[in-house]
Chains A and B, each alone.
Chain A
Amino acid sequence: MLRNGREEFKWFNMRLYNISFQSLKRKKTKTALLIFSLFLSVVSVITLLIVSTEVEKNISHNLDEFGANILITPKSNELNYSYGGINLGQVTYETNSISEDELYEIQKIKNKKNISVIAPKLLILSSIADKDVVLAGINFEQEIRVKKWWKVIGSQPSKENEALAGFHLKNKFNLNINDTVTIENSKFIIAGFLKETGSQDDQTLFLSLQKVQAMFNKEKQISLAEIAALCYDCPIEEIVSQTSQKLPNAKVTALKQTIESKMTAVQFFKDFSYGVSAIIIIISVLMLFSSLNASLNERIKEIGIYRAIGFNNIHIIKLVVLEVFISSLFAAVLASISSYWLADLILPILTENSNTIISFNWLNPIWAILIAVSMAMLSSMYPIYKALKLNPSIALRSL
């Protein structure tokens, strides 16, 4: 009674899509297997995609942070001073300079979001107690970010009258922390000194940029700037050329060596994960294909029945495609959610960084749907094609 009553209520309009729905609903094992195999391959590909993007970001962030990869120097430079592997010419620093205003034009380039650190420097040849000394006016915060290898003993200067001494300079003048040095009638307190770096920095006394500019009447002037650009999603050449356009009076050089090693590491990881994804997809399509082919006879008979009823090819294709489409959509949604969860589990292991926050990217679910649907279509196309090509009377005999 109750059953009958319920059936009166759930009366529906029989349409093609009902056939697809019921097929999915009532052939539960088959549907579950189809969804599960689609899910497995999509979830592995999308997880790999998320993980590789995050690891790639992580690697290149670490590499980018490791040092400057762009150097900005005055254009007509005949100097012979070597700085970070780039020849800066003889130390006649006074001759050439760039204005600070011009330097900060770099923040207006198209790829401005990739510019991570701008470290300007004003280099001056001066003297302490009649001995030659190279003074570098720097922005301590920025400088320390591009010189990750600096080890400061004492503290980093925080006031205009504080200085940081290079290793050899400290020895040459026998300086200690809190000692005072006099330069051009200004007194400076040694706040800290650097451990040996093996570079020009060992000979240099670092002061605040503004102070040096004021002392030598070089307001808003700098000798060079080091730039750290985050380059995982843009070619460094792009940034260099964009910067050159904004800074017509400066020479913009990419520090090739840093970049190339950086890029190979990142590229390798990318290629590797694309390769693995391709293999996963190929294997899964083959597996799906063979499992769908195994049930081909059943499908052929079913299609024979639909034809005897008077369905044409379009009706039958609609029916099967809808069924495949619904399952792959379902698999894609499950895979999209699970892949974030999985990536969240895997990433801390790979990056040794437990608080990585994976940014949600709308492209991933779209990829998931595209991959699932095209995989399912690809592997179900052949059985459908075969069933449709078959003479209906033969299809019906194949029972």
Chain B
Amino acid sequence: MSFIEINNLSKTYYSGEQKISAISDVNITIDRNDFVSVTGASGSGKSTLLSLLGGLNIPSSGNIIIDGINVFSLSSNQIAKLRREYIGFVFQSFYLINYLTVEENILLPLSITDYNSSQQKFKLDKILERVGLSDKKGRLVDELSGGEQQRVAIARAIINDPVIILADEPTGNLDSSTGNQILDLFEELNKDGKLVIVVTHDDNVKKRTSNVIVFRDGRVEQ
């Protein structure tokens, strides 16, 4: 049994009279230590798949099993808990909270846990070092470069030690050398035992991953 099992997954959006089949009848299995890239043309359903994997969206049919848990049989609070404990999200446009500093943004996931002040500090220092932002921790995130902002987002995604990292075009807004640094980070994280799934248009990214899933019109190409 694989760590993630996606079974007959479909998602149809309704906008007015129109039915948009974002993904249809998708079956994928992913193992605990995979580094997966998801590619495909624009509108082929990559982001939809990622949002379903993270429980940010509800499928029209089919199911997703993560570590034996049937995600969509859970209540919304349980899904939130699953996200908290299993999943770290990274987005193309970073999605940082602009009125919080670097350290406050990174600590957000811990603000609803029982970690005390010194545990928080310990984790924060370790992660700041890992993403190379120790000297910027007191800055407001708007003052950082794109690459730095994405590193804050990655730090925030991993501070709670999730098993899975879901990244939607994490290098899409960065130049290639900055993008490569981010990919280096993902590679390291994968080596440390995290399951990384990256949605990307970038062939560079594809080359560095262990599996490539290609989408076309909402279906997986074999």
Taking beta carbons and an 8 Å cutoff, which residues of A are in contact with B?
A: 3, 7, 11-16, 18-19, 22-23, 26-27, 301-302, 304-315, 391-393, 396, 399
Assuming the A-B contacts A16-B111, A311-B112, are A396 and B80 also in contact, with contact meaning beta carbons closer than 8 angstroms in the complex? no
9 CB contacts below 8 A, A to B, read A12-B117, A13-B116, A19-B100, A19-B108, A26-B99, A302-B97, A307-B80, A308-B95, A396-B51
**Chain B neighbourhood of A26, CB < 8 A:** 99-100, 140
A395 to chain B, nearest CB (A): 9
In the complex, what distance in Å separates the CA atom of A326 from the CA atom of B56? 30
> Chain B: which residue is nearest A394 at the CB level?
B57
A310 touches B81 (CB 8 A): yes
**Chain A neighbourhood of B120, CB < 8 A:** 13-14
> Chain A: which residue is nearest B162 at the CB level?
A310
> Chain A: which residue is nearest B55 at the CB level?
A392
B28-36, B62-70, B83-91, B203-211: which lies at the A interface? B83-91
> Chain A: which residue is nearest B117 at the CB level?
A13
**Chain A neighbourhood of B96, CB < 8 A:** 305
Assuming the A-B contacts A19-B100, A391-B56, A393-B51, are A309 and B117 also in contact, with contact meaning beta carbons closer than 8 angstroms in the complex? no
A308 touches B97 (CB 8 A): no
Assuming the A-B contacts A309-B156, A311-B80, are A11 and B108 also in contact, with contact meaning beta carbons closer than 8 angstroms in the complex? no
In the complex, what distance in Å separates the CA atom of A396 from the CA atom of B89? 12
A78 to chain B, nearest CB (A): 83
**Chain A neighbourhood of B54, CB < 8 A:** 308
Assuming the A-B contacts A7-B138, A309-B156, A310-B109, are A27 and B117 also in contact, with contact meaning beta carbons closer than 8 angstroms in the complex? no
**Chain B neighbourhood of A13, CB < 8 A:** 116-117, 120
B95 touches A305 (CB 8 A): yes
- A304-B95, A308-B83 known, 17 other contacts, Cβ within 8 Å: A7-B138, A11-B121, A13-B117, A14-B108, A19-B100, A22-B104, A301-B95, A302-B97, A308-B91, A309-B156, A312-B80, A313-B80, A315-B112, A392-B56, A393-B47, A393-B57, A399-B95
Assuming the A-B contacts A308-B95, A312-B77, are A393 and B56 also in contact, with contact meaning beta carbons closer than 8 angstroms in the complex? yes
In the complex, what distance in Å separates the CA atom of A393 from the CA atom of B140? 26
